[in-house]
Amino acid sequence: MKVSLFIANRIVRNRQPSFSGFIIRVAAIATGISVATMVVTLSLVNGFQHEVAQKVYDFWGHVRVQNLEPFRTLVAEETPVIRTPFTDSVVFHAPELQHAHAFAARSVVLRSRGQFEGVLLKGVESRFTTSPFARFLRAGRLIQFPDSGYSSEIMISSTLATRLNVSVNDTLSAFYLRQGEEIRTRRLVVAGLYKTGIEEYDNNFVITDLRFLQRLNMWTPNQIGGYEIWIQNKEDASRVSDQLSGLLPQGMAAAPISSIYPNIFDWLNIQDQTKKIVIGVMLAVAIINLVTCLLILVMERTTMIALLSALGMTPQGVRKVFWYYAAYIAGAGVAGGLLLGLGVVGLQHLTGWIRMDEATYYVDRMPVKVIWWQVLAIAFGSFTICVAALRLPLMVMKHISVVRALRFN
C-alpha cells in the first residue's frame, strides 16, 4: 500500500475522540445534506414539470392541426376546415403517431337549477374514447357515440358540476345563438365528471359529440375544427408539426401544443432556473464547508506534516495524504447524501406527504421524477469539485516551517 494512502487511512480509522474526527463527521454530514438537497430538488422539479406538462398533453395532444390563426386565444371557437380523405391520410399516418381524432369547439351557456355558466363545448369523435383523456375521469363514464345521429351526452368537470349543482345522469340545458340572432336550446345529459386540476380547463371546457356541434354550427359532416394528435415522444412535436405542415393543404397548419398555449409551458420552463440556483448554492455550501474543514485539519496536523517532511517524505507525498483524506470525506458525504435524497424522494412517491394547493399549482401532491443521469452527474460532479477545491487549503502547507513546527513541540 502506498505510504500516503496508508497514513490517510490510519487517520480516518482513528476511533479515539479527537477534534479532527469531529471535523470529519461535520464535513461529511454537511456534504451529504448538500447532495441530498440537490437530488430532492431535481427530482421534485422534474416531477412537477413532467406531471403538469403531461396533463396539458393528455387534454390537448402534442400537435394540433387547424386553420392558420396566429393570434387565436385559448377560449375561442374554431374556424372550420374541410375534412377530406387526403387530410385524414396525412394526419392518421403522422410520424410516431400514438393517437389522433378530429374535434371542434362552440361557445354555449349551460343552465341547471337556476345556475348559469358560460363554457366552450369541445366536440370529439368516437376515436376520443382511446385518448389519454380517460385518466381525468372521476365519476360516471366517457360519452357514448351512436352509429347514427349524434349523442346528447356531455362530460363536465367536477368544478362545473358543483357550480351547476348537477351530478352524473342529470340533465341540463345548453343555450346558444344560431346565425348570431336566434337563441336555441338543447337538453344534455351528464355522462361523466372529469378533473384535470388545471382551473383554466376545468372552468371552461365541456366534452361532447363532434356531430352534435356540427349540428349546432350548421356545418356539413366534413367540416371540423381540426385534429388533435398524440405522438410517441413529445420532444419530437416540433419536427412532426413541420412535416405535417409541409403535407397539408394550403390554409391548414400543424403546430406543437406548447406553442399554441405557451403560458403554462413558459411557467414550467422558469422552474429550470430554480434547479440551477439550488444546485449552485448547495455546491457552494459543500465546497466552502469542505475547504474550511480541511484547512482546520491541515493546521491541526502541522506537527505531523513537519515530521513526515523531516523523515524524507516529499511535499507531493504529504499533499497526497490530504487528497486521500478529502476523497474519503467527499465520498462518504456524497454516498450518504444520495441515500438520504433518494430515500426522501421514494417516501414522497409512496406516500405523497408533501401536499400542494391544486388550484394554484395544478397538482394536489408534489410529484417526483428521478432522472438517473442527473443523479449520477450530481454524485460525480460534487465529488470531483469538492476534491478539486482542496487546492486552497493545501497552499497553506507551503508556508509551514519544518524546523519551527518541530522545535515548538
Amino acid at 124: V
Amino acid at 17: P
Establish if 158 belongs to a structural domain. yes
Establish if 258 belongs to a structural domain. no
Query: Both 50 and 79 in a single domain?
Result: no
d(C-alpha 175, C-alpha 186), whole Å: 7
Query: Both 293 and 403 in a single domain?
Result: yes
Query: Both 79 and 215 in a single domain?
Result: yes
Establish if 262 belongs to a structural domain. no
pLDDT at 210 over 70: yes
* Spatial contact of 143 and 191, defined as CB atoms under 8 Å apart: yes
Establish if 261 belongs to a structural domain. no
Q: What is the mean pLDDT of residues 260-274?
A: 85
d(C-alpha 32, C-alpha 409), whole Å: 36
pTM, 2 dp: 0.83
* Spatial contact of 176 and 118, defined as CB atoms under 8 Å apart: no
Query: Both 394 and 337 in a single domain?
Result: yes
Q: What pLDDT digit, counting tens, does each position of 243-258 carry?
A: 999 999 888 899 999 8
Q: What is the reported pLDDT for 75?
A: 47
Q: What pLDDT digit, counting tens, does each position of 324-361 carry?
A: 777 888 888 889 999 999 999 999 999 988 898 888 88
pLDDT at 182 over 90: no
Q: What is the reported pLDDT for 19?
A: 63
Establish if 281 belongs to a structural domain. yes
Query: Both 221 and 351 in a single domain?
Result: no
d(C-alpha 51, C-alpha 103), whole Å: 24
* Spatial contact of 325 and 296, defined as CB atoms under 8 Å apart: no
Per the structure, the complete domain to which residue 42 belongs is given by 3-55+271-408
* Spatial contact of 103 and 123, defined as CB atoms under 8 Å apart: yes
Q: Where a domain ends, among 218, 250, 282?
A: 250
Residues of the chain with pLDDT > 90: what percent? 45
Task: Give the helix ranges, DSSP H, for 78-157.
Answer: 85-92
Q: Where a domain ends, among 250, 284, 302?
A: 250
d(C-alpha 399, C-alpha 409), whole Å: 17
Query: Both 89 and 192 in a single domain?
Result: yes
Establish if 17 belongs to a structural domain. yes
Burial class of residue 144 (count of CB atoms within 10 Å of its CB; 0-12, 13-18, 19+): exposed
Domain count, the chain: 2
Query: Both 107 and 179 in a single domain?
Result: yes
CA angle at 78 for the pair 73 and 82, rounded to the nearest 5°: 145
DSSP at 168: T
Q: What is the reported pLDDT for 14?
A: 63
Q: Where a domain ends, among 215, 250, 285?
A: 250
Q: Which residue pairs from 340-344 have beta carbons closer than 8 angstroms and sit at least 24 positions apart in sequence?
A: 340/32, 340/33, 340/35, 340/36, 341/35, 341/36, 341/37, 341/38, 341/39, 341/40, 341/43, 342/39, 342/370, 342/375, 344/36, 344/40
Query: Both 285 and 395 in a single domain?
Result: yes
Q: What pLDDT digit, counting tens, does each position of 70-113 carry?
A: 655 544 567 889 999 999 999 999 988 999 999 999 889 999 98
**pLDDT averaged over every residue in the chain:** 84
Q: What is the mean pLDDT of residues 259-266?
A: 85
Query: Both 7 and 80 in a single domain?
Result: no
Query: Both 345 and 392 in a single domain?
Result: yes
Provide the β-strand partners of residue 231. Answer: 97
Query: In this structure, how many other beta carbons lie within 10 angstroms of the beta carbon of residue 13?
Result: 8
Query: Both 205 and 317 in a single domain?
Result: no
Q: What is the reported pLDDT for 165?
A: 92
Residue of 163, 151, 243, 148 lying closest to 204 (CA atoms): 163
Establish if 260 belongs to a structural domain. no
Query: Both 51 and 75 in a single domain?
Result: no
